[in-house]
């Protein structure tokens, strides 16, 4: 990992992730842990997708879901961890909410392999 990648990771760890955790807590009253398989993100391009295409989309969909107390409670009880992994290609592409963990893995550098807003919402909403 070069200097540019280390800077992106540092920004994610010190700004993006804490802000997302705070937003999640504010939206539903739950606690969220964000686990990133850093070793799987080997390029600046893949790391740059984490903020907007992964964390940003998940928090946005949580915001859309948490419109009443019933939904807020369901999200807080059903989601405690966001696990993110980058794959070398789209084989093994998966988004799954299981055991309070939303696992998202794909080839983040290829826009066609990134999960849509609807993919994220469906993965969460169907398990609430």
Answer yes or no: are the C-beta atoms of 58 and 120 closer than 8 Å: yes
Q: For all residues of the chain together, what is the average pLDDT?
A: 94
Instruction: List residues bridging with 101 in a β-sheet.
Output: 81, 98
Residue 48 has pLDDT above 80, yes or no: yes
Higher pLDDT, 82 or 42: 82
Residue 111 has pLDDT above 80, yes or no: no
What range defines the domain where residue 118 resides?
A: 3-125
Which tokens sit at 94?
């998966």
Residue 54 has pLDDT above 80, yes or no: yes
Higher pLDDT, 108 or 69: 69
């Amino acid at each position: 990992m070069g200097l540019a990648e280390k800077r992106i990771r540092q920004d994610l760890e010190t700004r993006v992730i804490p802000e997302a955790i705070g937003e999640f807590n504010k939206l539903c009253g739950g606690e969220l842990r964000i686990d990133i398989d850093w070793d799987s993100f080997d390029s600046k391009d893949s790391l740059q997708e984490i903020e907007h295409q992964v964390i940003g989309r998940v928090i946005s969909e949580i915001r859309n879901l948490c419109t009443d107390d019933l939904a807020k409670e369901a999200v807080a009880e059903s989601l405690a961890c966001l696990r993110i992994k980058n794959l070398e290609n789209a084989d093994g592409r998966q988004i799954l909410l299981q055991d309070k963990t939303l696992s998202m893995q794909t080839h983040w550098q290829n826009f066609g392999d990134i999960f849509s807003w609807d993919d994220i919402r469906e993965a969460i909403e169907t398990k609430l």
